[in-house]
């Protein structure tokens, strides 16, 4: 996966969300070399699952904490697809 253009398939997103949950529960935080695209995408997905947020809410929260965050079209597509997956999983779609 490459920064600025990289994205991930849903199984990778689910794995990353579980990893983030585990890290946070043990007092750790998410860190990436640039911290602008991939990590922001994974954190947005984590926040959507944890708080039942929609993509724009999760993105704005991340952006407020780290203003240099930029999600490209591929990352937005992935985040939106993950939201649809969560909706379907909870019987909302």
Catalytic residue among 5, 9, 32, 34: 32
Query: So what's the pLDDT on residue 5?
Result: 54
| % of residues, the chain, pLDDT over 70 | 92
Told to judge if 32 belongs to the known catalytic residues of this protein, a careful annotator would answer: yes
**Mean pLDDT for the stretch of residues 41-53:** 95
The alpha carbon torsion through 57, 59, 61, 67 (nearest 10 deg) reads -150
Hey, how many other C-beta atoms are within 10 angstroms of the C-beta on 86?
18
**Helix boundaries (H) for the chain:** 10-25, 38-51, 55-65, 73-89
Q: What pTM was estimated for this model as a whole?
A: 0.82
Rg over alpha carbons for the chain, rounded to the nearest Å, is 12
| pLDDT higher than 50, residue 15 | yes
Sign of the Cα pseudo-torsion (84, 39, 15, 20, in order): negative
Given the candidates 3.90.190.10, 1.10.10.10, 3.40.35.10, 3.30.930.10, the CATH classification of the domain at 10-21+31-89 is: 3.90.190.10
């Amino acid at each position: 996966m490459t920064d600025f253009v990289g994205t991930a398939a849903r199984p990778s997103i689910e794995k990353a969300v579980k990893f983030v949950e585990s890290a946070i529960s043990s007092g750790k935080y998410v860190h990436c070399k640039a911290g602008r695209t991939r990590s922001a995408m994974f954190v947005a997905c984590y926040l959507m699952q944890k708080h039942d947020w929609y993509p724009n809410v999760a993105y704005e929260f991340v952006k407020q904490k780290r203003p240099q965050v930029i999600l490209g079209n591929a990352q937005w597509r992935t985040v939106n697809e993950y939201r649809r997956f969560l909706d379907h999983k909870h019987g909302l779609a």
